[in-house]
């Protein structure tokens, strides 16, 4: 599978968030490979974005948002790891949260790992996604443009419409709609 290049990620986070839709997260485990198609994302910026981890300043938690685009940025919220990808050029904080995805390959392994036969509950939410794919902070800072246990690949060029809404669970948000998902996909965390 063809991995996404650095130049793909080093753009405005809202553009990266939209163009990640339909791309493939590839997770290689000793038991086998799992592949999911990204169906829902959210874009985050730095100063001026009250919902961002980088809203106030650079910290031990968010420093990756100032690095080059294409790095895994993983942190815990409410006991669940969240998988983000850094976006924009080095020095400008930005990231995209991967909220949901559609299982493509390794469904049996996903169901076994999560002890469920409901394919729709495996990856429809950022915490469920990381549990199913075993994405933890061990990947924090991993360069997703290079081969490894966790990557994002091009995938098929399927046509779909994109729905944009306000971000989920955000108390203070921007006036821009920065949550994006594939219209009609059953693999989204929340419908508006």
pLDDT tens column, 85-104: 999 999 889 999 999 999 99
Q: C-alpha distances in angstroms, 102 versus 36, 50, 185?
A: 5, 29, 8
Cα(97)–Cα(83) distance, integer angstroms: 6
Residue 190 scores a pLDDT above 80: no
> Which pLDDT tens digit goes with each residue over 42-71?
998 887 876 677 767 777 877 788 799 999
The better pLDDT of the pair 77, 175 is held by: 77
Q: Which residues contact 185 (CB under 8 A, 6 or more apart)?
A: 39, 40, 102, 160
| Structural element, H or E, at residue 129 | helix 126-133
Could you name the CATH architecture of 6-182? Roll (3.10)
pLDDT of residue 192: 63
Residue 170 scores a pLDDT above 90: no
What would you report as the CA-atom Rg of the chain, rounded to the nearest whole angstrom?
15
Residue range 6-28: mean pLDDT, rounded: 97
Q: Hey, how many other C-beta atoms are within 10 angstroms of the C-beta on 146?
A: 10
pLDDT of residue 80: 94
Q: pTM value?
A: 0.94
Cα(21)–Cα(167) distance, integer angstroms: 16
Residue 37 scores a pLDDT above 90: yes
Domain ranges (residues) in the chain? 6-182
Cα(36)–Cα(152) distance, integer angstroms: 10
> Which pLDDT tens digit goes with each residue over 140-168?
999 999 999 999 999 888 899 999 999 88
> Which pLDDT tens digit goes with each residue over 105-118?
999 999 999 999 99
Indicate the average pLDDT of the chain. Answer: 92
């Amino acid at each position: 599978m063809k991995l996404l290049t650095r130049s793909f990620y080093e753009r405005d986070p809202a553009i990266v968030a939209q163009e990640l839709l339909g791309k493939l997260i590839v997770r290689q485990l000793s038991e086998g490979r799992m592949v999911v198609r990204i169906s829902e994302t959210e874009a985050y910026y730095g100063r001026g974005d009250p919902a961002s981890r980088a809203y106030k300043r650079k910290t031990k938690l968010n420093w990756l948002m100032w690095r080059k685009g294409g790095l895994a940025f993983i942190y815990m919220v409410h006991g669940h790891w969240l998988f983000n990808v850094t976006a924009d050029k080095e020095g400008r904080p930005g990231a995209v949260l991967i909220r949901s995805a559609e299982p493509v390959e390794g469904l049996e392994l996903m169901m076994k790992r999560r002890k469920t036969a409901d394919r729709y509950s495996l990856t429809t939410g950022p915490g469920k996604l990381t549990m199913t794919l075993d994405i933890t902070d061990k990947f924090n800072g991993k360069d997703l443009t290079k081969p490894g246990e966790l990557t994002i690949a091009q995938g098929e060029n399927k046509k779909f419409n994109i729905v944009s809404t306000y971000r989920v669970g955000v108390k203070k948000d921007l006036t821009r709609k920065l949550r994006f998902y594939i219209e009609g996909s059953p693999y989204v965390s929340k419908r508006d």
